[in-house]
Homo-oligomer: A and B are copies of this chain.
Amino acid sequence: MADLDLMRELAIDGDTKILLLVLDGIGGLPQTPEGATELEVAHTPNLDGLAIRSICGLGTAVAPGVTPGSGPGHLALFGYDPLVYEIGRGVLEALGIGFDLQPNDVAARGNFCTLDENGIITDRRAGRIPTEVGARLCEKLRQIDLPGVDEIFVEPVKEYRFVLVLRGEGLHDGLTETDPQQTGLPPLPVEALRPEAEPTAELLNRWLAEARELLADEHPANGCNLRGIAKDPGLPTLPDVYKLRCGAIATYPMYRGVAKLAGMDVLPTGETIEAEVETLKQYWDDYDYFFFHVKKTDSRGEDGDFDAKVAVIEHFDQVLPEILALEPDVVLVTGDHSTPAVWKAHSWHELPVLLWAKYIRPDGVQQFGERPCMAGGLGHIHNSDLMALAMANAGRLAKFGA
């Protein structure tokens, strides 16, 4: 798997361009054992034409059998081993709502819950209160002040979920969660896993105590838990490791946020694939590496709508010639994880991967699909290795050893 120190040592400048096209949740499953997957069913003359001139394979984002969340799934594509470089849930939740997280912020995912008269959790999700109610409760919690903390943000997410961010000097992560993960127990105190995090633990426990007072008369959301309390992990950045100027084009906050953590410039764009293509064209001369994200393949997979996922793939296929007309030197097409419509959720299944560049060995794969990719020349690959392959094919990696 990708060794970032090695990459940093070997990376050289160049004037070539790498384009990573991510169809979120692209991996699928057939609806019957004899059937074909979403990608195989889709009429994709442009992807298939590219596949014929490419080397293909099947990718794993984390490990065999492990279903990746969006964070780990993208980290792998950006060249990080997701088991080594983890992004806390609080940070991902903040990125997901487009919160402008600063390097020293401590972020937590908050869940409103229901407590009985003895402070025991009876419902970890407070009956899934409506989003509007969650927003009103967040408003209420904003009156809490903490000594030495410059700013406290309490931002609603959806239903019972919110984000808590503390901003100030000297805040640390390395803290336990308060959610006991089952009903019948009280919320746990935040505990420091290392000595320097003690003061932050105290601040969060104080915040929680005040929050419980403020929520005491609410029903059913009369309590809350904090999970995944974390800071920006301070990843080695792509510009630093690979000497690449990186631009990210994505319509959803989560993906823009992960790209930002990896050191990419997040480019302003619109809501549609066409708008994203326009952005790509507009900034084409300014960057060496582009991350181009298509969200709706995943959304339609999560909906369980096989045909709608097929339609998103076909839509993307139609704009592909316009993208390729920009003449990138290296093109990667894959996903961050599978979202088979029949499974209606992220899954552990391998991703179809396509790598096109001038100096690859075409492998006889005639169609971009999961089963054709099984016979592809890349074989079974860890997604975090794709970055090095892209760099090599872009002529941007020096020889190792003499």
Interface, chain A (partner B; CB < 8 A)? 2-3, 6, 10, 29-30, 33-34, 37, 52-53, 58, 62-72, 82-83, 86-87, 89, 92-93, 96, 228, 340, 342-343, 345-349, 359-364, 370-371, 374-377, 379-381, 385, 387-393, 397-402
Contacts and interface: CB of A to CB of B under 8 A. Distances in A.
Q: How many copies does the complex hold?
A: 2
A87 B359 CA distance: 29
Contacts of A371: 361, 363-364, 377
A285 B274 CA distance: 55
Given A63-B6, A66-B388, A29 B375 contact: no
27 contacts: A3-B83, A6-B66, A30-B362, A33-B53, A58-B377, A63-B385, A64-B381, A65-B389, A65-B390, A65-B393, A66-B397, A67-B400, A69-B399, A69-B401, A70-B401, A70-B402, A71-B401, A71-B402, A82-B401, A92-B401, A92-B402, A342-B359, A347-B359, A347-B392, A349-B359, A349-B361, A363-B374
Nearest to A86: B401
A391 B29 CA distance: 18
Interface secondary structure of A, over-half rule? loop
Given A69-B399, A82-B401, A89-B401, 7 more contacts: A33-B52, A62-B400, A63-B388, A96-B402, A363-B371, A379-B380, A380-B380
Given A70-B402, A340-B359, A349-B361, A63 B391 contact: no
Given A72-B400, A379-B380, A33 B93 contact: no
Contacts of A347: 359, 392
Given A400-B72, A400-B82, A66 B30 contact: no
A385 B69 contact: no
A375 B390 CA distance: 23
Contacts of A63: 2-3, 6, 385, 388
A67 B380 CA distance: 20
A362 B370 CA distance: 10
Contact of A359 (B62, B343, B346, B381): B343
A400 B68 contact: yes
Contacts of A228: 402
